[in-house]
Structure 1
């Protein structure tokens, strides 16, 4: 009888141990990843890092790791940085080059004919004048170009910064406060968007200039620069404001915002600590796309005669002067056109690369 009891107990113990082992194996299978990463494999985030290396990395460092893998983005960033360095170092470059953008070289050196056209082929390009000379006045095109980068980039950067800051503030107020504040600010934004942009720029730039300077007085260059910044800013902040508003509307109902609100945090603290960190990537991408658009808008206004006025070097003025001599001197418009094309395309591609780095789900 004891033997039968021992046999029964042994079989039950064996079954229990087997059942426990089966439960343990199923638990381990459920907790282990179904598709484990191979040693040294990518984690699928586009950063080239393994899952172990991703632990403890901030979103900014992950975005930078993704951006470094984008060769087009790196090349465009280097190109844009080169333009910025040239703009800041324009006086030094002109001094080393030995030319001044305001000095007339044509008549003194016999570089122009009686019609103001360069005597030498290709617009007077030679070892002394790398990009040739300006028709009619005989100024050096190379120094005009690098100083023109300085003027256009300063105005466009100022417009972009002011527009982005204003758009972010108004978008935050609209999205977080909601209600009547959102309604009235939204209608004001719709009103500003209803204006035709180019006609608004052309019509209101002289009006703003007239507010600061009498028509009988000489117009300082800084007044025209301020007018261009103001008139582009007035119609430049709405796109950023609407994007930020849409982002904030989706964030304000999230659980972490509700938790911060229930914990007694003030609205300013919630916006500063919870909302802003979640929208900065959208704002950064929009800023990289807004700046080249402002460069072309500023050049267009100067080309039409309502922007920067001579003799201040500017890309738009180079196009304006080149259009008058296009048939007799094609080279004069060639160099400014190529420079603006490279800058605008590089900055737009840089914006795409920044967007891809900040959002790995996007596919270009």
Structure 2
């Protein structure tokens, strides 16, 4: 569980080449769609996104909400074990019910997708914004600005992020936990992107087209937004795509440890934690949220890797 894709992605030399700009989006998408792994990954991600967006409608069709208890689906004489095979799965409860309380697993999976995607994407957006801004400032202006920002990045990257996330979230009130999760994850995540952006910006700032813009009297703002930032687009897109699975895993892990999404709000990590005491009796209760989580993380990882390969190939043309 981590707040970043991998440590290697934080190295400037590991980032995709950004000095020639990004190829046309249409060409990139066509290349991705011809790749079976990328296409399947994109299809699964789209499925989860649609599931999250239309969660109320989906659970209305299924007939059970995420907070409803069906006491008739569990056996009180067996400590609330679901009645029937596969955890009580059938026409009424498509994925079965939670042991002990009878809540519908399908409904909670659907709403759990909403929590996971909302937190992961929001954290990715905030992390990207902070990383790009501070990376550009450090790489373009250099000097004291670079020194201060670099020391802050080193300071945050030196922390064992997971331990401090648990400590911070445990100490804060459980109010709006989703917002707190986004802020805390982003706090420890932005330096990795910023370090890559900083290195690329320092390289681009020495290129001929930037020197030509300076000679023509262009302002620093114009140089940053018209000359440097467009050439960082490929790097930012790839690292952002690869960051999402890390944040999904982080949210699930924190919820598993009890400091993430607060019950009874559904969360896949929280469901996995609740299933630990039941996995030998009702293995499907553990397997279903685990499979959904695994496939989502895998899909984003595969899509990010294939996107990086496509951008590298197109940029070399």
Aligned equivalent of 1:11: none
Aligned equivalent of 1:69: 34
Q: Does the 8 A contact of 1:99 with 1:140 survive in 2?
A: yes
Distance 2:207 2:309 in 1: 25
Please give the per-residue CA displacement for 1:43-95, whole angstroms capped at 9, x wherever unaligned: xxxxxxxxxxxxxx963343334323322212211111111011101110001
Q: Does the 8 A contact of 1:112 with 1:135 survive in 2?
A: no
Correspondence 1:229 to 2:197: no
The structure with the larger Rg is 1
Correspondence 1:296 to 2:259: no
Please give the per-residue CA displacement for 1:247-302, whole angstroms capped at 9, x wherever unaligned: 10110000000000000000100111110110011011011111111011001111
Q: Against the structure 1 CA distance between its residues 151 and 110, is the aligned structure 2 distance closer, same or farther, given a 3 Å change threshold?
A: closer
Give the CA deviation at 1:358: 1.2
Q: Please, which of 223, 226, 236 is the counterpart of residue 273 of structure 1?
A: 226
1:134 aligns to what SS in structure 2? coil
Give the CA deviation at 1:361: 7.1
Correspondence 1:316 to 2:269: yes
Q: Does the 8 A contact of 1:112 with 1:138 survive in 2?
A: no
The aligned length equals: 294
Aligned equivalent of 2:74: 111
Q: Against the structure 1 CA distance between its residues 160 and 110, is the aligned structure 2 distance closer, same or farther, given a 3 Å change threshold?
A: closer
Distance 1:345 1:85 in 2: 18
Q: Does the 8 A contact of 1:135 with 1:325 survive in 2?
A: yes
Segments of 4+ in structure 1 off by > 3 A?
57-62
Q: Mapping of 1:142-221 within 5 angstroms? A: 142-207=106-171, 209-210=172-173, 219-220=174-175
Distance 1:355 1:138 in 2: 44
Please give the per-residue CA displacement for 1:129-177, whole angstroms capped at 9, x wherever unaligned: 1111001111000000010000111011110000001000000000000
1:236 aligns to what SS in structure 2? helix
2:189 aligns to what SS in structure 1? coil
Distance 1:127 1:63 in 2: 42
Query: Which runs of no fewer than 5 residues in structure 1 stay unpaired?
Result: 1-56, 211-218
Q: Does the 8 A contact of 2:23 with 2:314 survive in 1?
A: no
Q: Against the structure 1 CA distance between its residues 111 and 326, is the aligned structure 2 distance closer, same or farther, given a 3 Å change threshold?
A: same
Q: Against the structure 1 CA distance between its residues 110 and 272, is the aligned structure 2 distance closer, same or farther, given a 3 Å change threshold?
A: closer
Distance 1:139 1:333 in 2: 14
Correspondence 1:348 to 2:301: yes
Distance 1:67 1:188 in 2: 37
What do you get for the CA RMSD once the two structures are aligned?
1.7
Aligned equivalent of 2:25: 60
Q: Against the structure 1 CA distance between its residues 342 and 202, is the aligned structure 2 distance closer, same or farther, given a 3 Å change threshold?
A: same
1:265 aligns to what SS in structure 2? coil
Distance 2:91 2:34 in 1: 40
Q: Does the 8 A contact of 2:73 with 2:102 survive in 1?
A: no
Please give the per-residue CA displacement for 1:229-254, whole angstroms capped at 9, x wherever unaligned: 11111101011101101110110000
Q: Against the structure 1 CA distance between its residues 125 and 64, is the aligned structure 2 distance closer, same or farther, given a 3 Å change threshold?
A: closer
Which of structures 1 and 2 has the larger relative contact order (alpha carbons within 8 angstroms, sep 6+)?
A: 2
2:109 aligns to what SS in structure 1? helix
Q: Please, which of 36, 42, 45 is the counterpart of residue 80 of structure 1?
A: 45
Q: Mapping of 1:328-343 within 5 angstroms? A: 328-343=281-296
Give the CA deviation at 1:97: 1.1
1:235 aligns to what SS in structure 2? helix
Q: Does the 8 A contact of 1:64 with 1:357 survive in 2?
A: no
Distance 2:29 2:120 in 1: 26
Correspondence 1:101 to 2:54: no
